[in-house]
Amino acid sequence: MSWDSLLPRPVRVRPAAGVLELDADTTVGGEPTTAEWFRRYVGAATGLPLADAERPTIEFRVDSGESVPGGYRAHIRPDGVEVVAHDAAGAHHAAQTLRQLLGPSAYRSALIHYGRFLLPCGQVEDRPRFTWRGCHLDVARHFLPKREVLRFVELLAAHKLNVLHLHLTDDQGWRVEVPRFPELTRTGAWRRRSMVGRGPEPEFDSRPHGGFYTSDDLREIVAHAARHHITVVPEVDVPGHSQAAIAAYPELGTGGRPEVWDSWGVSDEVLNTDPATADFYRAVLDHLMEVFPSPVICVGGDEVPGSTPEHGAFLRELIQHVHVRGRRASGWDELLDAVDPLPPGTIIAAWRDEQAAARAAARGHDVVLCPETHFYLDHRQSDHPDEPVPVGFLTTLEKVYSYQPRPDVLGVQAQVWTEHLDTPRRLDYAAFPRLAAFAEVAWSEQRDLADFQRRLVGHHLPRLDAYGVEYRPLSGPHPWQTRPGVPGRPR
């Protein structure tokens, strides 16, 4: 594989003559988490032991004076590889670069041929453009089994992304076990049916849907993500998008006992603002902070029907509770309108428009750019009649890549909402290869669409093929990826 195959695009590459061949005598050492990761994943694909050694063939070294957080420099010679990274995360990014250079077979879980594994000689200097390079994953609308979340983490890391924003609760399901409140999962984790598509008249299947993660499941996800230098940011959305919680504990609502919602959109059910409700959610957040070591905890705050000053005060209480516990709260950009004053240190996920990002930055808040117009990967990818469940804005691969982030932000984040992504195969189709385009926006200062498309088609799609990702072909969906008869609602 050649140096011009890398994705996302590195800062600087200096190719040189020659190759390094990995063989049974190749050793790996240095920064321990990276060496262990390389040995486990690349070792499985190559069938090589890649043993530890005092003077390893491939050495990952950490030097905080090198580059910036997440940055690294790698020098490949015929007799070995020297990586010098700012931190362990930078060493891991370097390891991902080496994996790409080994070719698509390095993305398989076992050795399938006995060819040579070669690294081209040369040097690469690389560093991330943004601190926060995130992907939001909605597991509330359609539950994603734990094994698939672990796989998704690995795919994020392969694209040098470093935040998984896990949307754990919504009107249609509550996915996180809270031992103190068992009805949240006993009642709130499943619904009796689901809306099919988004046509002018609602249509439903008759199939119950549900699932949740135990605390140990979530600890495993967090640990797996940490191995890949990804932070898992949990979200419990309040005071709207809360019908599943109200179905479990009706005293949290404003009257009646609804079922877990079976429709898409925004439910009219909202939390009340009684002191007991605030106490309930403080206890939920305490459990979340016990399970998730993330420095950031998301409280949502978006799309609240009939929002009142009392809702703003409720959100402020919960944000302050997170901050008192030594973490930072984040929320969607509606917080700018609902909570006045918004506690300092709150991170704003700006999804509605550029003005929201500008307002948040002007008020001194860190901003993560999440524009619906460019980074909502559940939105339709073409206007061809075969496009499955054509909802939302037309968001092509090229449109994702064309986004120009303002430079004064914490970072950028893609969103994968799952109302219409009811299986891991559908999630693959929606996320890839657009997430590869997003990854280059998040990582690379210098971008070129034609060059990206060349690298994507010639080198990166074969990597996704080897990994088993059922991405959308650039020419349109395979027949089995279509959803005939399932209407959407294009915008």
pLDDT digits over 10-39, tens only? Answer: 999 999 999 999 999 999 999 999 999 999
Question: What integer pLDDT is reported at residue 114 of this predicted model?
Answer: 79
In the predicted structure, residue 187 carries a pLDDT above the cut 80:
yes
In the chain, which residues fall in CATH 3.30.379.10? 3-126
Chain-wide mean pLDDT for the chain? 97
Question: What integer pLDDT is reported at residue 67 of this predicted model?
Answer: 83
Contact assessment for residue 185 and residue 174, using Cβ atoms and an 8 Å cutoff: yes
* Span 393-422, average pLDDT: 98
Question: What integer pLDDT is reported at residue 215 of this predicted model?
Answer: 98
CATH class of 132-481: alpha beta
Question: Which residues does the annotation mark as catalytic?
Answer: 303
Question: What integer pLDDT is reported at residue 104 of this predicted model?
Answer: 97
Model pLDDT for residues 425-466, shown as the tens digit of each residue: 999 999 999 999 999 999 999 999 999 999 999 999 999 999
In the predicted structure, residue 390 carries a pLDDT above the cut 80:
yes
In the predicted structure, residue 1 carries a pLDDT above the cut 80:
no
Question: What integer pLDDT is reported at residue 428 of this predicted model?
Answer: 98
Question: What integer pLDDT is reported at residue 113 of this predicted model?
Answer: 82
Q: What percent of the chain has pLDDT over 90?
A: 98
Out of 65-69, 139-143, 262-266, 327-331, least confident range: 65-69
Q: What is the third-level CATH fold of 3-126?
A: Chitobiase; domain 2 (3.30.379)
More confident residue, 146 or 115: 146
Question: What integer pLDDT is reported at residue 374 of this predicted model?
Answer: 98
In the chain, which residues fall in CATH 3.20.20.80? 132-481
Model pLDDT for residues 51-108, shown as the tens digit of each residue: 999 899 999 999 999 889 999 999 999 999 999 999 999 999 999 999 999 999 999 9
Question: What integer pLDDT is reported at residue 392 of this predicted model?
Answer: 97
* Span 182-187, average pLDDT: 98
